[in-house]
Structure 1
Amino acid sequence: MTWDILNIIGTLAFAISGALIAREEDYDILGIYVLGFTTAFGGGLVRNLLIGIPIENTWMQGNLFQIAFFAITLVFLLPNYWLDQIKNWIVFFDAIGLAAFAIQGANYAVSVSAPFAAVIIASTITGAGGGMIRDVFAGRKPMIFHSEIYALWAAFAGFAIGLGLVRGPYATAFLLILIVFLRIISVRFNWNLPHNIPYENKRNLGS
């Protein structure tokens, strides 16, 4: 049940996130569906390739494709004045998708007896991969590389699950809420991982 709930939460959240960004970029109906579906399923697809899960497993999720289709259609039909009101929720939906899929990816890796490092990688790729593909398709710099702390929270889920610190639905729900909270406050307070000095600044310092 926990597995199915995480799948549904992550699929809904990322499908909405992708469709909202497609609307923001003024994509047509095909672009909205493509961006919504790739955001919802892209991370899991890459994860399966990395840890050796048969690729056809991705296409055996008919109910999740229906859920994503419904969510994307709903976003497509939203009037523009409603869209303006909920654009600020993109970060929230993205945080939910990140948390749900990071936990699901880590659990998936543990279920196939993957080593600890692979659990962290699966968690990170599943949680952040869909958003990265979405940003590339939308012509944006992927958040995973420049935005407020993003992929680190997905890796944190893999670390906790790989060490066996998260067991049972209550602990899983707590971890989900914690990651969403950490992602949102990292945006709110502009937390970032260390950056190097930009090249232009380096040149100015050198002169």
Structure 2
Amino acid sequence: MESTFVTIIEIIGTMAFAISGIRLASAKKFDWFGAYVVGLVTAIGGGTLRDVLLDLPAFWMQNSIYLTVTALSLLFVIFFGQYLIRLQNTFFIFDTIGLALFVVVGIQKTLMVGYPFWVAIVMGTITGAFGGIIRDILINEEPLIFRKDIYAMACVIGGIFYWLSYKIGLNDVITQSISAAMVIITRLVAVKYHMSLPALKAEDEYNQSKQKK
């Protein structure tokens, strides 16, 4: 039951991330194959790095469902792309859902192979965020995780709530749901109230601000 729930989360997260990647690729006028590649690496990039670091077989090499889900996501964007464009913030919605679900999957899989919670939180962050880094590089954009936007920190916050829920004895489904919800809530609140981490100033900017004082 537990592994089935994780698999369902992983498939939904794959579709959400794939759609977010394909939407950005379509905005850059990529062809269908290029858009599929961008959607695929967005969906499997983080999980692949996680499995390499955990010395596990790459998850998508054991089941073709992830390649199929990405193909279905491409067809979804092709046929319903006009409706998606009319909806505001469609990229943000799908990217946030994918991020939240993949954080949960990364944490759960890391714990299953016996690593401590701090490692699981790091792996959850990698699972959620690394695919987006590859996506942004492929479409020639500054990676979202390196901007001031609350992205990786949302993964960390979700991981902390996973740990707290586990510590107070909640069952796995509730724990995973709380963790995913906190990732989504953190990103929504950060965007709504324009919250961000401070940008690291260059030396000349620091000197200019010092002179103004």
Does the alignment reach a TM-score above 0.5?
yes
- 1:52 correspondence with 2:55: yes
1:171 corresponds in structure 2 to 175
Question: Relative to structure 2, which stretch is displaced further, 117-126 or 176-185?
Answer: 176-185
Q: Distance in 2 between matches of 1:158 and 1:17?
A: 22
SS of corresponding position for 2:56: coil
Amino acid at match of 1:188: K
Flag as ranges the 4+ runs of structure 1 deviating above 6 A: none
**Structure 1, gaps ≥5 residues long:** none
Counterparts of residues 8-87 of structure 1 (less than 5 Å): 8-55=11-58, 57-78=59-80, 81-86=82-87
Q: Distance in 2 between matches of 1:148 and 1:205?
A: 23
TM-score (norm 1): 0.89
- 1:91 correspondence with 2:92: yes
Q: Distance in 2 between matches of 1:91 and 1:199?
A: 33
Q: Distance in 1 between matches of 2:96 and 2:90?
A: 10
Q: Considering only aligned residues, what root-mean-square deviation do their CA atoms show, in Å?
A: 2.0
1:129 corresponds in structure 2 to 130
1:23-45 Cα distance to aligned partner (Å, 9 max, x none): 11111112100100000101100
Count of aligned residue pairs for this structure pair: 205
SS of corresponding position for 2:87: helix
The structural deviation recorded for 1:83 is 4.4
SS of corresponding position for 2:48: helix
Q: Distance in 2 between matches of 1:116 and 1:177?
A: 19
**Structure 2, gaps ≥5 residues long:** none
1:194 corresponds in structure 2 to 198
The structural deviation recorded for 1:198 is 4.4
Counterparts of residues 100-119 of structure 1 (less than 5 Å): 100-119=101-120
